[in-house]
Amino acid sequence: MIDISKLENVAPEYNLRDLLAAGCHFGHEASKWHPNMADWIYSKQDGIHIFDLEKTAAQLTIAYNYFYYLGKEGKSVIFVGTKRQAREIVKEKTQESGVHWIVSRWLGGLLTNWQQVSKSLRKMIEIEEGLKGDKYKMYTKFEQNQLEKEAGRYARFFDGLRELKELPSALFVIDPKKEQIAMTEAEMVGVDVVALVDTNTNPKSVDLIIPANDDGRGSIEFIVDQLIQAYANGRAAKTSGKKTVEVKKIKVKVEVKKIKVKTKEKKKTELKKKKTETKGL
């Protein structure tokens, strides 16, 4: 991962009451905690661990700035949320913003065998376009049904990756404990992992931790919203940034022309003065 201390700070200032209202503070039962999460825990109430929301807000700020950077640099990211509580939220939010997503099941080899996966992606799109057009018009009804089933099998795994052309730069994972295969593959190929991590999970393989409730709908939705907004803002900044550069170049050219004109006028004035002085002599 890049040096996060050098990231542009564009994140909003998070109000802890908003995190509290979203239910981000609830951890798991204290009896199920993982010791490596001790630094992120504030207290224990009624047998439930409570997150330190100041630290959660600080980590979310870093994650926001990182996703803004990814969007601005035109880098791709995949949101992974296959647990029941996260599927609907991840799919809905990412589809609205055009971000890649996986909500059914992580297909083993998606990162480590990307070359084959990219072929399957192209095959899925080819079949779908062929069924919509006239490519398979001469096929029997049975053959067309078989193609539809094949496209459906591909779509189960790759529906949210249609526009993915290369390995992603980062994954956002909800509950890394559940997504062990994705975590292992990301580590093997060097893809950064930002994760929503609860108190019952070992965060060792996570590059950037967002310590918060990974079961509550409100908590998941709040975090996902923030990161998608950051990525979208980064992409918008990339576009507007190009226009700004062009305007600056035009201004510089105009200023240079003005300077040249002034210089010529000064030379003419000086010549006139010299001629007048010569006549006087």
Q: 245 pLDDT exceeds 70?
A: no
Q: 253 pLDDT exceeds 50?
A: no
Q: 93 pLDDT exceeds 90?
A: yes
Structure tokens at 86: 């996260």
- Supply the pLDDT for residue 280: 47
pTM assigned to the model:
0.82
- Supply the pLDDT for residue 3: 86
Residue closest to 203 by CA, chosen among 2, 57, 32, 38: 38
Euclidean distance between CA atoms 201 and 211, whole angstroms:
10
- Supply the pLDDT for residue 130: 93
Per the CB < 8 A criterion, the answer to whether 191 and 111 are in contact is yes
pLDDT classification of 241: cutoffs 50, 70, 90: low
Q: What class does CATH assign to 4-111+167-240?
A: alpha beta
Per-residue pLDDT tens digits for 102-148: 999 999 999 999 999 999 999 999 999 999 988 988 999 999 999 99
